[in-house]
């Protein structure tokens, strides 16, 4: 395995863990090598988007031990997604145990320390019940699979250009933007694809009622640094990022003031640094934001900002076991 060449792709591993919900309870979880799922063509997940997922990583530390980052937080977020879609709610312990079991069974796929790579875990929950009417279902499957993934940046961190797309809404104020469900990605894929074709590394969405406030990126939260402040948008329609929550804690520890509030588009020009944060990207500094259709670009520079880099280092030091796990974020497998 060429660990250094890994991107963010599906890679076949030893297997996955599954658990079925039917007759009012979760059955015993089982491990399988099967990459395919036998699904009825009328399963509600295929028609009505009754599916939720998560993304988290396991890291091989400097001491050779493997630890998963904030797995119980992902479990709780999947519970809120399940509740929003009226799907059976996976217990936190079942979720955590399934993730640990997948890591244990795929130990040869955990990238070694020093490669910058990690083992990405993808828990998913979807309605398997065959039905035609649009309604809540009482049959579902919970699966956790994994794939080794490379670091977002191969060598040094290079800020990427972002496109603020005011012509596409990702989520409505009281819609499903604050949970991790497939439909949110379906609604943003066109904007993301367009931005990529135009050479942007990321797309940013604004609030869908006024289009005056920054919401988040396609698969990451948005943050900015201004003087001694860490600023990140507050909204009912953005995903509560576990990476962002961690950065808020680390920023506070570094003596920055943390502002979780509405962030107006007009404020962008006054920020010193801007970035995207999430499990897949970790901390991805933004070099510029172009407002689509307005011929307006705000520049943050081609070099990553010092505060973003300190936050990235502080986060990775904990994830790779180089710093004490002072917030109890790591679960050893």
Candidates 145-153, 201-209, 274-282, 302-310; binding stretch for ligand COI (CB under 6 A) = 274-282
Candidates 64-72, 205-213, 223-231, 273-281; binding stretch for ligand COI (CB under 6 A) = 273-281
Candidates 36-44, 78-86, 217-225, 301-309; binding stretch for ligand PLP (CB under 6 A) = 217-225
Decide whether 54 or 139 has the Cβ nearer to ligand PLP.
54
From residue 278, alpha-carbon distances to 20, 100, 182, 243 in Å are: 29, 21, 17, 5
Q: How far is the CB of 25 from ligand PLP (least distance, A)?
A: 29
Pairing of strands 202-206, 214-217: antiparallel
- Applying CB under 6 A, the site for ligand COI has a residue count of 5
Decide whether 13 or 232 has the Cβ nearer to ligand PLP.
232
Asked if 100 is an active-site residue, the reply is no
Give the tokens for residue 124: 């998913």
- Answer for which of 16, 241, 308, 319 binds ligand PLP (CB under 6 A) is 241
- Is residue 279 a contact point for ligand COI (CB under 6 A)? yes
Residue of 57, 180, 190, 245 marked active site: 180
- Is residue 245 a contact point for ligand COI (CB under 6 A)? no
| Dist. CA 251–CA 247, nearest whole Å | 6
**C-alpha triplet 234, 162, 221: angle, nearest 5°:** 30
- Main-chain dihedrals φ then ψ at residue 112, nearest 5 degrees: -65, 155
| Dist. CA 233–CA 224, nearest whole Å | 9
| Dist. CA 272–CA 265, nearest whole Å | 14
| Dist. CA 69–CA 184, nearest whole Å | 24
Q: Are 19 and 90 in contact (CB under 8 A)?
A: yes
Q: How far is the CB of 323 from ligand COI (least distance, A)?
A: 22
Q: How far is the CB of 241 from ligand PLP (least distance, A)?
A: 3
- Per the listing, tokens 């009622």 go with 209
Decide whether 137 or 319 has the Cβ nearer to ligand COI.
319
- Is residue 219 a contact point for ligand COI (CB under 6 A)? yes
Give the tokens for residue 126: 């979807």
- Is residue 231 a contact point for ligand COI (CB under 6 A)? no
CB atoms within 10 A of CB 11: 14
- Answer for which of 219, 224, 248, 274 binds ligand PLP (CB under 6 A) is 219
Q: Which residues carry out catalysis?
A: 180
Which residues bind to ligand COI, rule: CB under 6 A? 55, 219, 278-280
């Amino acid at each position: 395995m060429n660990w250094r060449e890994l991107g963010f792709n599906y890679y076949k591993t030893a297997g996955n863990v599954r658990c079925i919900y039917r007759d009012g309870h979760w059955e015993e979880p089982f491990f399988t090598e099967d990459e395919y799922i036998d699904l009825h063509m009328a399963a509600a997940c295929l028609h009505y988007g009754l599916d939720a997922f998560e993304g988290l990583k396991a890291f091989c530390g400097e001491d050779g031990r493997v630890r998963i980052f904030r797995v119980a937080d992902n479990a709780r977020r999947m519970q809120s997604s399940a509740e929003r879609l009226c799907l059976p709610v996976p217990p936190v312990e079942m979720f955590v145990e399934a993730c640990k079991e997948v890591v244990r069974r795929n130990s040869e796929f955990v990238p070694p320390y020093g490669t910058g790579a990690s083992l990405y875990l993808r828990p998913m929950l979807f309605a398997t019940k065959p039905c035609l009417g649009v309604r809540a279902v009482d049959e579902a499957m919970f699966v956790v699979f994994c794939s080794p993934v490379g670091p977002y940046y191969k060598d040094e961190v290079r800020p990427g250009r972002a496109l603020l797309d005011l012509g596409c809404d990702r989520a409505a104020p009281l819609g499903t933007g604050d949970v991790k469900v497939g439909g949110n990605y379906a609604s943003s894929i066109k904007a993301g694809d367009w931005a990529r074709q135009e050479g942007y590394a990321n797309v940013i969405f604004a609030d869908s009622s006024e289009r005056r406030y920054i919401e988040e990126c396609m698969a990451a939260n948005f943050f900015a640094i201004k003087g001694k402040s860490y600023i990140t948008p507050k909204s009912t329609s953005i995903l509560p990022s576990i990476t962002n929550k961690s950065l808020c804690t680390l920023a506070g520890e570094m003596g920055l003031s943390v502002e979780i509030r509405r962030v107006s588009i007009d404020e962008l020009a006054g920020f010193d640094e801007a970035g995207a944060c999430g499990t897949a990207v970790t901390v991805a500094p933004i070099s510029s934001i172009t407002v689509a259709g307005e011929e307006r670009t705000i520049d943050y520079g081609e070099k990553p900002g010092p505060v973003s880099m300190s936050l990235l280092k502080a986060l990775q030091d904990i994830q790779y076991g180089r710093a004490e796990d002072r917030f109890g974020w790591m679960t050893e497998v």
